[in-house]
Amino acid sequence: MDVLKGKSVWLLYDPDRLGVEDFLERLERLKGELPLGAVLVGSSFVEGDVCDKVKSLKERVSLPLILFPGSCYQLCPHYDWVLFLSLISGRNPEYLIGEHVKAAPIVKRYNLKVIPTAYILVEGGAYTAVEFVSGTKPIPREKTELILAHALAALYLGFRAVYLEAGSGAILSVPLKAVKTVKGEVGLPLIVGGGIRWKGEVEDYFAAGADVVVIGTAVEDGDLGV
């Protein structure tokens, strides 16, 4: 999976929150400041068809486009990859396997490449959209051993990546201790996102073991700090 090789930043584009032109302007501004590796497209709740916007991005962005799915209805043939996410920190069967069964024939029909990813929601100091939509609770941020146990389960179940997420608009990002522990004990490619608003944090997460750092809300607000 070349998209997970090396250290990189993925910018998250939410079609409900930002127009294509606005996102492209922010992406261009950040090109020389961050090691950009891909564009994630997704939202916990999408209003209307996103395929036209995804197609427009595909035509104008050289970076790989990766679907960060909220449901099977967000699938389009224009993506390069799909994060085939299972919300293993929750116990809602719809987000453990239900959506995946609905999505699988569509993924097959579109011939999309997938990254089987264990999605672990970590408390970020705010009630997030993913909590509301999925009906699940995050793992308490100080419970490093519980975060690690879920990541180890992901390893033994055969997932190819782990995504530690504090949620869109989180006040607190994923603890560096949890990142370091999971990377050291599990070793799978590690994606970290939620609440990251400073460029310096990116290097901190890379140093702790993250392979990919996801930045979303700060890009939408246009206020990614130094």
How does pLDDT run across 3-12, given as a tens digit for each residue? 999 999 999 9
pLDDT per position as a tens digit, 118-165: 999 999 999 998 999 999 999 999 999 999 999 999 999 999 999 999
For position 46, what pLDDT does the model report? 67
Q: Classify burial at 150, counting beta carbons within 10 Å of its beta carbon; exposed 0-12, middle 13-18, buried 19 or more.
A: buried
* Tens digits of residue pLDDT in 160-193: 999 999 998 799 999 999 999 999 999 999 999 9
pLDDT at 48 over 70: no
Tokens for 112, please give them: 């999309």
pLDDT band for position 218 (cuts 50, 70, 90):
confident
So what's the pLDDT on residue 217? Answer: 81
Report the 3 state secondary structure along 85-114: EEECCCCCHHHHHHHHHHHHHHHHHHCCEE
Helices (H), 3-76: 20-30, 51-60
CATH number of 2-221: 3.20.20.390
Q: Which two tokens stand for residue 156?
A: 């033994």
Q: What per-residue confidence (pLDDT) applies to 1? A: 66
Name the pTM for this structure. Answer: 0.95
Q: How far apart are CA 137 and CA 123, in angstroms?
A: 8
**Phi/psi at 200 (5° precision):** -60, -30
Kindly list the domain boundaries of the chain, sorted by start residue: 2-221
Could you give the CA distance from residue 55 to residue 53 in angstroms, rounded to a whole number? 5
Contact 59, 67 (CB under 8 A): no
